[in-house]
Amino acid sequence: MRTAEVKRRFLAHFEAAGHRVAAGAPLPADDPTLLFVNAGMVPFKPYLLGQRTPPGPRMTSVQKCVRTLDIDEVGKTTRHGTFFQMNGNFSFGDYFKEEAIALAWDLVVKPVADGGYGLDADRIWATVYRDDDEAYALWRDRIGLPEARIVRRGKADNFWSMGVPGPCGPCSELFYDRGPAYGRDGGPEVDEDRFLEFWNLVFMQYERGEGSGKEDYPVLGELPSRNIDTGMGLERMAVLLQGVDNLYEIDETRPVLDAAAELTGTAYRTEPDTDVRLRVIADHVRTALMMIGDGVTPANEGRGYVLRRILRRAVRGVRQLGYEDPALPHLLPVARDCMAPSYPELATDFERIASYAYGEEDAFRGTLRQGSALLGRALSGTSGPLPAGTAFRLHDTYGFPIDLTVEIAAERGLDVDVDGFRRLMAEQRRKARQDARAKKTGHADTGLYRSLLDAGGPTDWLAHDTLTAEATVLAVLRDGGPVDAAGESEIVTVVLDRTPFYAESGGQDSDAGTLRGTGFAAEVLDVQRPVKGLITHQVRITGGEIATGLRAHAEVDPEWRLGARQAHSGTHIVHAALRAALGPGAVQSGSYNRPGYLRLDFSWQGTLPDAARGEIEETANLAIRRDLPVEVRRMPLARARELGALALFGETYDDVVRVVEIGGAWSRELCGGTHVDHAAQVGSITLTGESSVGSGRRRVEAVTGLESFRYLARERDLVTEVAARLNAPRDRLPERVANLVEKLKEAERVNRLLRDQVAVAEAGIAAAQAEDAGGVRFAHAHTDAPPRRLAELIVDRLPERRPGVAAVTSPSGFVVAANQAAQDAGVSAGELVKTVLDGRGGGNARLAQGRPPGDASAALTVLARLLAASTDR
């Protein structure tokens, strides 16, 4: 049974039992505590915690998940994978243990012909929490499972919590006996390879208190409403139904493994090390496909770094098996074909996905060449741990990941000072972020915002309907905590019960405007949504005192909003024009717009042709001239996808979404921003820049509306000024500038020749004046030009058969060169520079350089003494 069919049967079974089928959430978690969704229940946490009302009392889903804590175990065991799928059914205060157990058992043992999985009931074991007599009795009496196959286990194994105070409860797990070929008999407590866990039923009925670990916390009492959270591992069920040994061999993974084996000329199930690498490759290629499919792109931070690490581990695994050429173009399409039956969007969006993956591999192959050589030299020169500074330099300067440094060092039996590396990274991040959050309202703990949301309910958000609103001040926050009031000149965060201000999101900057009330006035600096449903306003109080409970008149600056609407609609127009010029693979991956300005990031390899840039700008302005209609509609997410509405990758959308159309299907996107009523209101769009923002990712920048006219006016004034200075008609400027450039190039060529002639003369003089230093001809000079060229010229003019060393000082550096005879006699330019400059320089035996010495004369004297004291002539 194919994995896609396992998924289909699960959803059909629970839908028939009255469950509402929920679409799986994207992998990037809509949760500040997680990078990725790592369990099937994560999207349902607000319902399970009582923070939001679920759309129905029974729900079911198949959720994509990523866990990387065990990434080093991938391939070594048969149970660890970075990407997996969790089938879940959930009850929010509806059914409880008896029906949850019955529903699971029915699907598992129901014959295949009747829509079930057809597992042998005599090979299924159940575990329950040690004190859960109710679950034990249900398995024994309701299901008919023999007591010998019902195992009581402790808190660490069969009691669930989220690791923090909140809901918790006993759980019951199902295991399948795969037979004696997989290990010892005796049930899951004896061997969990033979007895493979495939389903976990969590009975959420208690509240836990503070504590640590899986067992050290108190259970405080019953929850007011009991919930069910169950999860069936899709890959594990596929392992059982397909009769394979492990998750790397199911239909969604094994073809990638086989393709990697064929590509590298190896064979699976021959050598343990080879098997591990093939499994890593198969797992990581599939995981990367799913991550990029959900909008994650390679980066040096956060989710992007996890993706980068996974891609690079896959590429390195292929290289370790002997294949040096690009491998992902051979492997990623295989993973796509494996996963498309369950996720057809991977096929339709493959061009974008591949552009990021292939670009990352190309960049990493260059990194490997450079970084591996540097790391190899560093490791060959040490017998202890690799210093943190070396690991940090490899990461910071050459993009060599620390995990790869650790892996390569471990292969040579060496450690890396990882703690020191992390301290250096933390310091770098601290400096980089020191001022980055000054504008935002993220100083307060999200728990405070959630308590405000619980107390006052969600903010009545009116940004799409009006520019003004009468509101009540619900809270005033300063330095991360609530205060009763704040006075003139203070900058504080204000929470209102209703607001017309647009909160920064979807690439659109927040509104500007004012808050006024009896006895106070404030300028709105920033508007944010720190938790879903709550809007906060960062304000500067310009007069009086603002306090909790006061009434306020909130007013958006109409000119600001008009400019914001022009820029946001302009972003959609530029996106549509990009796709028209470059094809459907040029998909937006990020954007930012504020009044008069927009930038849009999109997937693309290489620079844009000049003709394409002109075509994009012309297409965008033609859409404005045609005054395409702008229509905003709300509809179910499924309907929006059917219509082909584009979504920003990595965003999480509700079941009902807002679709913005410009010219109907010409531009149709999911968007929560503010927009013009028709395209002509944008005014005009002028592209001002195009650049790279990462591997396989480009950025265009543009100005809109009045800023577009101002930009063109400045360009006109600049051309007029240049024409006047060159005394040339405007239409002759390109020709006149080209002539000037040619003249400058010729002048530079002549200057270069003259400099070379001067350097040759100086080198001859210095070589002729060389002194004897312990049998070495020592010549030196000073120059205001870059010193390296002069040092090479001098040493080349010293007698070839006699050891010779040249030293050149300059304001920009200190260079030492040694001829071959000197090197043969044991003289090393690199060691000389390090000694003279106390380690602040280096190079090889032939040529070395460092910073300018504080006292050039003293440095040359020390160098001459070193040569005179040297032996082995």
**Residue ranges of the binding site for Zn(2+):** 568, 572, 671, 675
> Do 84 and 65 touch, CB atoms closer than 8 A?
yes
Q: How far is CA 23 from CA 3, 43, 86, 638, in A?
A: 17, 10, 13, 9
The secondary element (H helix, E strand) that includes residue 575 is helix 558-582
Which residue, among 407, 413, 478, 410, has the nearest Cα to 448 in the 3D structure?
478
Determine the Cα–Cα distance for residues 704 and 686; give it in Å rounded to an integer: 7
Q: How far is CA 42 from CA 49, 66, 88, 777, in A?
A: 11, 12, 11, 75
Residue with tokens 């991956």: 589
Secondary structure letter of residue 607 according to DSSP: P
Which residue, among 611, 614, 624, has the nearest Cα to 573 in the 3D structure?
624
> Do 700 and 575 touch, CB atoms closer than 8 A?
no
Determine the Cα–Cα distance for residues 245 and 149; give it in Å rounded to an integer: 23
**Residue ranges of the binding site:** 568, 572, 671, 675
Determine the Cα–Cα distance for residues 344 and 350; give it in Å rounded to an integer: 10
> Do 336 and 347 touch, CB atoms closer than 8 A?
yes
Q: How far is CA 246 from CA 75, 237, 374, 471, in A?
A: 10, 10, 38, 59
* Burial (CB count within 10 angstroms: exposed 0-12, middle 13-18, buried 19+), residue 605: middle
* Burial (CB count within 10 angstroms: exposed 0-12, middle 13-18, buried 19+), residue 873: middle
> How many residues belong to the chain?
873
Which residue, among 558, 602, 595, has the nearest Cα to 580 in the 3D structure?
602
The secondary element (H helix, E strand) that includes residue 659 is strand 656-662
